[in-house]
Homo-oligomer: A and B are copies of this chain.
Amino acid sequence: METPADIHFSTLMSVEVSVSACFDIMRAVIQRVLSASVQVGDDVVSLINRGLCVLIGIGLDDTEQDIEYISRKILNIRLWSNADEASDQRWSKSVQDLNLSILCISQFTLHATLKGNKPDFHYSMPAEKSRLFYNQLLEKLKHDYAQDKIFDGIFGAKMLVNIANDGPVTIVIDSKIKKHNATSSEDVTE
């Protein structure tokens, strides 16, 4: 049976490329927050104040390179102003610079494609394998930043995630675009 990507390929090459490059990725939806928490049933299982709430979608063919890239971007992306300087110093401080917290939540729906109006998840890594990858990402974040700054939900549980999106500021990061492109402007200007 043809998959949506196969059909895209047969009708328009450029679209197929964009579909594969957009979905065969680790994807992070990063929200800058004043607070965020996770409830499972009546219990609050995690709570942070200022920082990032990061929804993580792990793609079918993700590797450690994707974990490395997404982890680095979460820790270093500059989403805050420099309060000590002139007001045009926007986008100058990272979560680490300000010693803030990160609440990560696994979110397999980020790889949804649409069959008509019904979401389809065949680009998501299956649950048991993605749990390992997701845990690796958490360990990487704790290792590179601080054990006590990384918070988590409960993998696979039904959760209520309360997000106080500050700004709002929401960034979508996809891993593969970087991975295929080691000489991009990212590295030049970093």
> Is A34 in the interface zone, CB < 8 Å from B?
yes
CA distance A166 to B161 in the complex (A): 7
Contact status A181-B15, CB under 8 Å: yes
> Is A41 in the interface zone, CB < 8 Å from B?
no
**In residues 59-115 of chain A, which contact B (Cβ within 8 Å)?**
73, 76-79, 91-92, 94, 105, 107, 109-110, 112, 114-115
Taking CB atoms, residues of chain B closer than 8 Å to A20 are: 18
Give 1 or 0 for each of A4-30: 1 = CB within 8 Å of chain B CB: 100110011011011111100001010
CA distance A80 to B48 in the complex (A): 28
Chain A interface secondary structure, helix, strand, loop or mixed?
A: mixed
Give 1 or 0 for each of A161-190: 1 = CB within 8 Å of chain B CB: 111111111111110110011011110111
**Selected contact of A164 from candidates B3, B119, B162, CB within 8 Å:** B162
**In residues 122-151 of chain A, which contact B (Cβ within 8 Å)?**
none
Taking CB atoms, residues of chain B closer than 8 Å to A110 are: 170-172
CB of A170 to closest CB in B, whole Å:
5
CB of A127 to closest CB in B, whole Å:
15
Contact status A119-B91, CB under 8 Å: yes
**Selected contact of A78 from candidates B118, B171, B185, CB within 8 Å:** B118
Contact status B29-A77, CB under 8 Å: no
Could you pull out 26 A-B pairs where Cβ atoms are within 8 angstroms? A4-B185, A4-B186, A8-B184, A11-B183, A15-B21, A17-B18, A17-B21, A18-B20, A18-B21, A22-B174, A29-B29, A34-B160, A79-B119, A91-B118, A94-B117, A114-B186, A115-B186, A115-B189, A116-B186, A116-B189, A159-B167, A159-B168, A160-B165, A161-B163, A162-B164, A163-B163
| A-B contact sample (6 more), CB < 8 A, given A7-B188, A11-B183 | A3-B185, A7-B183, A18-B18, A22-B177, A162-B164, A163-B163
